[in-house]
């Protein structure tokens, strides 16, 4: 298919207008010289209509389009207390006149008298926030389960009273949300075609894997040979890859396209997330400093810093050959620079 044909498939779905698109795409001259590759950046951090965008906006365009089509009044979603996805969901809901309800896990416990980062923004925009504190001895997975259960029970209560709710999974990682990054890949391909540029690699930070599933589905639809490297920012279980292949294929089916994705289409690297989710790493800290000092651009310690650390390491180790054309998808998240200091690490 060509870009126009994929846009036509996407155009059949309801979509809320939440972002400024296309997001900017350009070369980072200083960092290119520093690293010895041609480094380009795609500014998904620049997507939202508020000051703080990110990669969730593209997903939310389709998610809130779907919610409005169903006549929803309340939008529920989940994440950590410093979730970028939760904050972008709140801003998108406010723009669309929907009521946001958040269930947030306190991996790092917030100071209720001195709110920071995304949680502060959630509160400023008046979201209904339920903070789930970790119980002693409880694993993160168990606490997550409890959080989802409380959210579902809340939805059941509201629906029993006649209120329509729309439930968005963590990270907006549903079939509907994933369609957003099929659109994102098409947009990037159009920008590359316009510049007559052939790109070898696309690097991005990977969490729930729906940005990845959308990008890879877009790549296969368009028959592109860009190598997409998805740099994990958290630990994933054994069937993660298979479930992401399925998410991509289900999204293709939803759009009326062939479910052509296979495990070989996904290139996930889990070498850069340690010590753990929301815990700063040396590589991530170096990456944030490098981007800030060479280009005056801001990455974050939880996602984009670790994603860019992966890119730097691939270049230094020669996995990416000198002179390659490399795109970094900046997925946003710089609000974490104003989060709790345990999340931030030592950046100065």
* Segment interacting with ligand PLP (CB under 6 A) among 21-29, 137-145, 209-217, 257-265: 209-217
According to DSSP, the β-strands at 128-133 and 38-43 are unpaired
Residues 223-282 that bind ligand PLP (CB under 6 A): none
Of the chain, the end-to-end C-alpha distance in Å amounts to 48
Rounded distance between C-alpha atoms, residue 20 and residue 40, angstroms: 19
Does 23 interact with ligand PLP (rule: CB under 6 A)? no
81 binds ligand PLP (CB under 6 A): no
Nearer to ligand PLP, 158 or 270 (CB): 270
Binding mask 161-180 for ligand PLP (x = CB under 6 A): ----------x-x-------
- Residue 77 carries which DSSP code? E
Q: Does 48 bind ligand PLP (CB under 6 A)?
A: no
Cis peptide before 324 (omega within 30 of 0): no
Interacting stretch for ligand PLP, rule CB under 6 A, among 20-28, 113-121, 326-334, 340-348? 326-334
207 binding ligand PLP? (CB under 6 A):
yes
Does position 84 interact with ligand PLP (CB under 6 A)? The reply is: yes
Question: What one-character-per-residue DSSP string does 15-26 give?
Answer: ----B-SSPPEE
Q: Which stretch binds ligand PLP (CB under 6 A): 135-143, 156-164, 216-224, 296-304?
A: 296-304
Query: What is the smallest separation between the CB atom of 280 and ligand PLP, expressed in angstroms?
Result: 14
Q: Give one DSSP letter per residue of 299-334, joined into a string.
A: --TTTHHHHHHHHHHHHHTTSS-TT-EEEEEE-B-G
3-state DSSP assignment of residue 203: strand
3-class SS at 128? strand
Instruction: Tell me the catalytic residues.
Output: 83
| Residues contacting 71, CB < 8 A, separation 6+ | 164
Nearer to ligand PLP, 36 or 39 (CB): 39
User: Which C-beta is closer to ligand PLP: that of 35 or that of 231?
Assistant: 231
Residue 106, classed as helix, strand or coil, is strand
| CB of 205 or CB of 290, closer to ligand PLP | 205
The answer to whether 44 touches 58, Cβ cutoff 8 Å, is yes
Token duo for residue 303: 């996602």
Q: Examine residue 82 and tell whether it contacts ligand PLP (CB under 6 A).
A: no
Query: What is the token pair recorded at 194?
Result: 């316009």
Task: Give residue for tokens 């209560």.
Answer: 157
Burial class (CB in 10 A: 0-12, 13-18, 19+), 288: buried
How many Cα atoms are found within 13 Å in the side-chain-facing hemisphere of 62? 26
Size of interface with ligand PLP, in residues (CB under 6 A): 20
User: At its nearest, how many Å lie between ligand PLP and the CB of residue 39?
Assistant: 18
User: Considering the rule CB under 6 A, would residue 304 count as an interface residue with ligand PLP?
Assistant: yes
Residue 79 binds ligand PLP, judged by CB under 6 A: no
Contact between 208 and ligand PLP by CB under 6 A: the answer reads yes
The minimum distance between CB 56 and ligand PLP, in angstroms, equals 6
Check binding of 332 to ligand PLP (CB under 6 A): yes
CB-nearer residue toward ligand PLP: 36 or 169: 169
Residue 207 CA neighbour count, 13 Å, CB half: 23
Q: Rule CB under 6 A: choose which of 38, 55, 81, 234 binds ligand PLP.
A: 55
- By CB under 6 A, name the binding residues for ligand PLP: 54-55, 84-85, 171, 173, 205-212, 300, 303-304, 331-333
């Amino acid at each position: 298919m060509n870009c126009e044909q994929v846009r036509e498939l996407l155009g059949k779905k309801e979509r809320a207008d939440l972002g400024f698109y296309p997001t900017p795409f350009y070369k980072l001259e200083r960092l290119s010289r520093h690293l010895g590759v041609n480094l380009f950046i795609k500014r998904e951090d620049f997507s939202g209509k508020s000051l703080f965008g990110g990669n969730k906006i593209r997903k939310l365009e389709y998610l809130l389009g779907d919610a409005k089509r169903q006549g929803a009044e309340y939008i529920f979603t989940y994440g950590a207390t410093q979730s970028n996805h939760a904050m972008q969901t709140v801003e998108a809901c406010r723009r669309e006149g929907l009521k946001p309800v958040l269930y947030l896990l306190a991996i790092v416990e917030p100071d209720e008298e001195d709110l920071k980062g995304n949680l502060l923004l959630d509160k400023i925009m008046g979201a209904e926030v339920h903070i789930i504190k970790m119980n002693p001895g409880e694993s993160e997975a168990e606490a997550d389960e409890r959080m989802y259960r409380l959210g579902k029970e809340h939805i059941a209560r509201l629906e029993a009273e006649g209120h329509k709710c729309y439930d968005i999974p963590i990270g907006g990682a549903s079939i509907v949300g994933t369609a957003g990054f099929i659109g994102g890949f098409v947009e990037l391909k159009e920008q590359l075609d316009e510049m007559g540029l052939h790109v070898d690699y696309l690097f991005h930070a990977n969490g729930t894997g729906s940005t990845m599933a959308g990008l890879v589905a877009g790549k296969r639809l368009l028959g592109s040979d860009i190598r997409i490297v998805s740099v994990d920012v958290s630990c994933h279980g054994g069937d993660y890859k298979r479930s992401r292949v399925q998410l991509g294929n289900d999204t293709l089916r939803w759009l009326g396209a062939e479910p052509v994705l296979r495990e070989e289409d996904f290139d996930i690297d889990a070498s850069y997330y340690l010590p753990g989710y929301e815990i700063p790493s040396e590589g991530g800290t170096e990456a944030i400093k490098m981007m800030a000092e060479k280009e005056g651009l801001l990455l974050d310690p939880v996602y984009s810093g670790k994603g860019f650390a992966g890119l730097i390491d691939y270049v230094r180790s020669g996995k990416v050959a000198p002179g390659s054309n490399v795109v970094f998808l900046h997925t946003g998240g710089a609000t974490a620079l104003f989060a709790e200091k345990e999340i931030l690490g030592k950046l100065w």
